[in-house]
Amino acid sequence: MEIRYADAGDVSLAYCVEGDEAGLPLIYIPGIVSNLAMDASSPILGRFYERLARFSRFVRWDRRGSGLSDQSASPLPLDEQARDLEAIRRAVGFERFAVIGFSQGTALALRYAATHPERVSHLVVIGGAACGARDPADPASPVLYDWDQLIGVSSRDFARYAAGLIRAAAPSLDQAARRFGETMVKASVTPSGMRQLLAQLRALDLRGVLADIRVPTLVVHGTRDEVFPVTHGRYLAAHVPGARLVEVDSDFHVFFMDAATTAVTLASIEEFLTGNVEHTADRTTTTVLFTDIVDSTAAQQRMGDEAWRTLRKGFEANSRRLVEQFGGRVVQFTGDGVMASFPAASQALRAARALGEDARGLGVAIRAGVHAGEAYVVDGQLFGTCVTVASRVADRAGAGEVLTSETVQDLVAGSGFSFRDAGTFELKGLGPRRLLAVG
């Protein structure tokens, strides 16, 4: 990786360029955590960048006041930050390019897309905030943070502030990874620079410019993000015309510190920018099973939060045990259900039956959907049409029902399974499909 510098007036901005010159022009705008020299110290972050560079001419940079760029330079007001992005654009020779903005960097990405639509081919917003309110759609919503208190902590004890930021941004990290995250924060921005950035976040309000964004937009947000709640991602997707929303079942705000969150984010970005995920994933033939607890919200309200958490814990433990017992693996838990993959369709059907029986023993009912085909694999996560079909099939199942596609019926012919015609259903984005109920 060669680190270069672009001139932005009297400030030098550090950047690097990777990927084929013929690839999709792509510029990544980081959040507060950014230091080009430390990127290689994070294998997950390194893989994320390397895979983006497989299909793009990928540019990343440290913003003024952070990382390897001039740290003596104060962060610019949001209205003026576009001139630094323009300096990077000129340095790499892009006329039109895709923009990825992460966390605090999404503000610049959104504002730039609104004011320079001729330059932006696609916009991707990861873990962004629309304003300084907890809920951007609620005029009475409290503010995100006690900003004065945060600024005070960063002034008195920056090490303590960095530790608190990582705890909020990546609650599930082990101790070693948490220490690396804290070091990354300290290497990214000075205490005085952090105070200025926090002051900017306190005054942030992009709600008035979202309707002006007229470029294809993808919003990616963790459902349990503690730094910027998912209400912000939903608001952005609802108010940027035509925006697509991908909600990731994750508590990581700093997505690149978790392999599963990174995989989902990466595949979503490549599919959005190129229409497929062939560059960042391997293909495999598999059978995918989705389950979902029926009427889970009502059950939680009826049982109470503590009893529901206990049930969920037992449900997930039993689901993993049963999936593995029938030769599969849990790809991910989906909130109130499980996504699993199996080498053979018959294994998936037997597992679906066992999972239904186990759920009844816990006092709940599940619906299940099974489909087989080719899928893309990224860091153990599965993507592609096969996965989407299985999910849509599960959505059509009733309580205690296992639905499959005709593909699965053909694969298990002679294995002793019986099927009945469940009807032809319109599967969102996939058209009509004939589905079968497993007897």
Question: What integer pLDDT is reported at residue 169 of this predicted model?
Answer: 93
Task: Note the pTM of the prediction, 2 decimals.
Answer: 0.70
Question: What integer pLDDT is reported at residue 233 of this predicted model?
Answer: 96
Question: What integer pLDDT is reported at residue 160 of this predicted model?
Answer: 94
* 250 neighbors 222 (Cβ within 8 angstroms): yes
Question: What integer pLDDT is reported at residue 277 of this predicted model?
Answer: 65
Contacts of 3 (CB under 8 A, 6+ apart): 14, 15, 16, 36, 37, 68
* Structural domains of the chain, ranges and CATH numbers in brackets: 4-274 (3.40.50.1820), 282-438 (3.30.70.1230)
Enclosing H/E stretch for 129: none
Question: What integer pLDDT is reported at residue 281 of this predicted model?
Answer: 61
Token readout for 19 is: 């990927």
Say how far apart CA 376 and CA 284 lie, in whole Å.
6
Q: Using 50 as the pLDDT threshold, list the residues of the chain that sit under it.
A: none
Contacts of 43 (CB under 8 A, 6+ apart): none
Say how far apart CA 52 and CA 105 lie, in whole Å.
18
Enclosing H/E stretch for 91: helix 82-92
The amino acid that residue 296 corresponds to is: S
> Beta-strand (E) ranges in 22-160?
24-29, 56-61, 97-102, 120-126
> What is the maximal distance between C-alpha atoms in the chain?
75
